[in-house]
Amino acid sequence: MKIPYLYSFMVSGIIYFWRMKPKGIQFSLYIILIFTLFFACQKRKNFTADTTNNKVEIEKNINAADSFYKNKKFDSAFYFYNRARTKCNPNEDAKSYVYCMYYMAEIQQDHEDFIGSTKTATETVPYLKKINDPNHVWNIYSVLGRNYYYTYDYPNAIYYYSKAFALKVDRINILEAKNNIATIYLDQGKYNKALQIFLSISKEKIVQEKPIYYAKVLDYIGLCYFKLKNGKALAFFEKSIQINSEAKNEDGLGKTYYNLAQYYHNNKSLAMMYAKLSYKNYTLSDNSNNRLLALKFIIENTNSPAEIKEKALLYIKENHRIYAFRQKAKNQFAKMKYDSKREKEENLKLKAQKIKNELQLEKQESKNIISYIIIILVSCLIVFVYYYLNARNNRQKIEAAYQSETRISKKLHDELANDIYHTLAFVENRNLSAEENRSHLLKKLDDIYSRTRDVSKENNPILGNQNFTISLKEMISGFNTPKINLLINGLDEISWNQLDEIKKTSVYRIIQELLVNMKKHSDATLVAITFKKRNNTIIINYTDNGKGIDSSKMVHKNGLHNIENRIRAIKGEVEIHSDFGKGFKLLIKFPV
């Protein structure tokens, strides 16, 4: 039993016996209660202190990571975000956990470790529903969308961009998600679809107030028009260059110059001029990937062998440098995550050992006190349970005896008294020397005997296992007369030994009740009883061709009421289908 539950149990017991016992015992119980509450408060205090210290440490690591990230020291930022993440319990502090994991995924993505970034971001998905701020959720969906976009998995990229687009976040974030979806359409060659989205974004006031973002959208519009071979493309490229030049945005200039180089692909001199301008600006913005793209264009379109050789060597050198840098970063971040995981496991082991030692000391200190408390409470509990169970059993016996006597009395009255009275009247008014009268009297007496036997059997325990099947068949066969034909199907196919005695007794009584009602009220000549087992459910289907019951005026009395009570007692279901003059059907289902 866990300590908090033990305290709760002991306090409840003390309060109960406080009301029941003399004042001397009350004083002893009062002392026990003081000790119990003292230990509980002490544990609560220690737990609160540990939780507070952990939160302070997490916040300290996050602040350090944010500072390094702001100064573009990404390896140090990753280290501290990872330290904070390992100390977070995502079920209790999902916001801090997701915050750290998002920036770790961003850093991995910036270093083009797209698989590692996707794995980091995906680990947060189960905890996003615990966060109230949709902006944190938007960040995760956005970084996942970019990862899938960079790895050419466009369906998944659109899926996560669409989820980000559907969130209730700042308008600029919604437009960014919309822009990213349009970029995918552009890469897929769906230029008209992409163009309509970019044009709608360019009309937003909030976009026009952000020069770099606005220039980027204009460049995309120009690219769409260029792909659609529309002359409007040049005007949008020129407007983008103007805005980027004023904002001194080298990366944006590099992109538009590269698009112009493609635009003038038929004019070699202009194409080479814009390609070299693109290479220059990408170099200034330190955009390694796009710098290689511009360099590749120059190599493919120059006519000078010397320049081809020079640029090719530069391309190979730059490509090797970028690959080595990415691989180093990927290994570094993977090692940080692995080391932190190992460190966390070691810390958990040390904490577990420390807790274990503390618990052992605490057990030594409080062993005697707890033993005395448990002995007192268990003794009191045993006495209480004994008297409670004894009183309950007596009540149940009295109720059972009363119900049994009432049922037997009713059966004797309903099934025997009237028949005996009619038999007496017959004897008084008939000449018993006549063969016909003697036969009729014997039949009457045999019928009374059968009914008496049924009442007797009803109060005897049902035999188990194989004998149960024999007893049930014998009881059913007692209702098979020249005027009533009984059909039984599937009885021997049921494994009755899987049922407890209560369920077997209920089945026996229900079938008996149905057959008694049939014989007394229905005037049936054909009765069919089918037994089936489906999965872990036993199904009994009873049908007769008697006069039935008017379902619209059906009142469950006596027999039907007893049947329903028995079925509910074994957690079963009963369905009755009957119309006056169309027979009677009853379906019973109950678990094995």
Neighbours of 539 (CB within 10 A): 17
| More confident of the two residues 33 and 360 | 360
Cα distances (Å, whole numbers) of residue 28 to 38, 314, 376: 16, 90, 10
> pLDDT tens across 545-557, in order?
998 887 666 555 5
For residue 189, tell me if it sits in a domain. Answer: no
Q: Average pLDDT, stretch 505-528?
A: 88
Helix boundaries (H) for 545-584: 558-569
Of the candidates 578, 574, 524, 575, the residue with the CA atom closest to the CA atom of residue 551: 578
Q: In this predicted structure, what is the pLDDT of residue 481? A: 83
Structure tokens at 3: 């300590």
| More confident of the two residues 396 and 274 | 274
Structure tokens at 456: 């007797």
Q: Over 60: is that where the pLDDT of 256 sits?
A: yes
Q: Rounded to an integer, what distance in angstroms lies between the CA atom of residue 410 and that of residue 562?
A: 13
For residue 99, tell me if it sits in a domain. Answer: no
- Element spanning 528, H or E: strand 526-534
Torsion of CA 506, 512, 518, 519, to 10 degrees: -160
Residue located via tokens 């079925």 = 567
Q: Rounded to an integer, what distance in angstroms lies between the CA atom of residue 396 and that of residue 405?
A: 14
Q: Rounded to an integer, what distance in angstroms lies between the CA atom of residue 515 and that of residue 476?
A: 8
- β-bridge pairing 573-578 and 537-544: unpaired
Residue located via tokens 């995906």 = 122
Do 81 and 60 meet the contact criterion of CB atoms below 8 Å apart? no
Of the candidates 520, 514, 490, the residue with the CA atom closest to the CA atom of residue 574: 514
Provide the residue range defining the domain that includes 551. Answer: 461-591
* Local confidence band at 527 (pLDDT 50, 70, 90 cut-offs): very high
Of the ranges 19-28, 284-293, 557-566, the best mean pLDDT one: 284-293
> pLDDT tens across 496-515, in order?
888 888 899 889 989 988 98
* Local confidence band at 3 (pLDDT 50, 70, 90 cut-offs): very low
Q: Over 50: is that where the pLDDT of 2 sits?
A: no
> pLDDT tens across 18-46, in order?
455 444 445 455 555 555 555 555 555 55
Q: Rounded to an integer, what distance in angstroms lies between the CA atom of residue 211 and that of residue 249?
A: 10
Q: Average pLDDT, stretch 277-303?
A: 84
Residue 27 CA neighbour count, 13 Å, CB half? 2
Q: Average pLDDT, stretch 553-574?
A: 78
Structure tokens at 149: 């976009």
pLDDT above 70 covers a percentage of the chain that reads: 73
Q: Average pLDDT, stretch 49-71?
A: 85
Q: Rounded to an integer, what distance in angstroms lies between the CA atom of residue 61 and that of residue 96?
A: 11
Q: In this predicted structure, what is the pLDDT of residue 32? A: 54
| More confident of the two residues 264 and 1 | 264
Neighbours of 136 (CB within 10 A): 18
> pLDDT tens across 126-180, in order?
999 988 889 999 999 999 999 999 898 999 999 999 998 889 898 999 999 999 9
For residue 524, tell me if it sits in a domain. Answer: yes
Q: Average pLDDT, stretch 394-399?
A: 63
Q: In this predicted structure, what is the pLDDT of residue 349? A: 65
Q: Rounded to an integer, what distance in angstroms lies between the CA atom of residue 166 and that of residue 142?
A: 12
Q: Rounded to an integer, what distance in angstroms lies between the CA atom of residue 420 and that of residue 301?
A: 121
> pLDDT tens across 65-111, in order?
999 999 989 889 998 999 898 888 888 899 999 999 999 999 988 88
Of the candidates 489, 499, 493, the residue with the CA atom closest to the CA atom of residue 590: 499
Q: Rounded to an integer, what distance in angstroms lies between the CA atom of residue 8 and that of residue 6?
A: 5
Q: Rounded to an integer, what distance in angstroms lies between the CA atom of residue 345 and that of residue 341?
A: 6
Of the candidates 12, 11, 13, the residue with the CA atom closest to the CA atom of residue 37: 11
* Local confidence band at 398 (pLDDT 50, 70, 90 cut-offs): low
CB contact set of 254 (below 8 Å; sequence gap of 6+): 277, 278, 279, 280, 281, 282, 284, 285, 287, 290, 291, 294
Q: Rounded to an integer, what distance in angstroms lies between the CA atom of residue 587 and that of residue 375?
A: 54
Q: Please give the DSSP secondary-structure letter assigned to residue 522.
A: I
Cα distances (Å, whole numbers) of residue 92 to 45, 98, 313, 347, 403: 19, 12, 54, 20, 56
Q: In this predicted structure, what is the pLDDT of residue 6? A: 47
* Local confidence band at 47 (pLDDT 50, 70, 90 cut-offs): very low
For residue 330, tell me if it sits in a domain. Answer: no
Structure tokens at 108: 């991995």
Count of all residues that appear for the chain in the document: 592
For residue 297, tell me if it sits in a domain. Answer: no
Torsion of CA 382, 383, 387, 388, to 10 degrees: -50
Q: In this predicted structure, what is the pLDDT of residue 111? A: 84
What DSSP string describes 332-371?
A: HHHHHHHHHHHHHHHHHHHHHHHHHHHHHHHHHHHHHHHH
Q: In this predicted structure, what is the pLDDT of residue 147? A: 92
| More confident of the two residues 294 and 542 | 542
Residue 495, domain CATH:
3.30.565.10
Q: Of 131-140, 177-186, 211-220, 411-420, which gets the smallest average pLDDT?
A: 411-420
Q: Over 70: is that where the pLDDT of 282 sits?
A: yes
CB contact set of 385 (below 8 Å; sequence gap of 6+): none
Q: Rounded to an integer, what distance in angstroms lies between the CA atom of residue 472 and that of residue 531?
A: 12
Strand order, beta sheet including 537-544: 485-489, 526-534, 537-544, 584-591, 573-578
* Local confidence band at 237 (pLDDT 50, 70, 90 cut-offs): very high
Mean pLDDT, the chain, rounded, equals: 80
Q: Of 63-67, 225-229, 230-234, 328-332, which gets the smallest average pLDDT?
A: 328-332
Q: Rounded to an integer, what distance in angstroms lies between the CA atom of residue 211 and that of residue 207?
A: 8
Q: Average pLDDT, stretch 59-65?
A: 93
> pLDDT tens across 470-492, in order?
888 888 887 888 888 999 999 98
Structure tokens at 315: 């391309």
* Local confidence band at 384 (pLDDT 50, 70, 90 cut-offs): confident
Domain count, the chain: 1
Q: Over 60: is that where the pLDDT of 356 sits?
A: yes
Q: Rounded to an integer, what distance in angstroms lies between the CA atom of residue 356 and that of residue 514?
A: 65
* Local confidence band at 338 (pLDDT 50, 70, 90 cut-offs): low
Of the ranges 196-210, 317-331, 355-369, 445-459, the best mean pLDDT one: 196-210
Three-state SS string over 211-275 comes to HHHHHHHHHHHHHHHHHCCCCCHHHHHHHHHHHHHHHCCHHHHHHHHHHHHHHCCCCHHHHHHHH
For residue 275, tell me if it sits in a domain. Answer: no
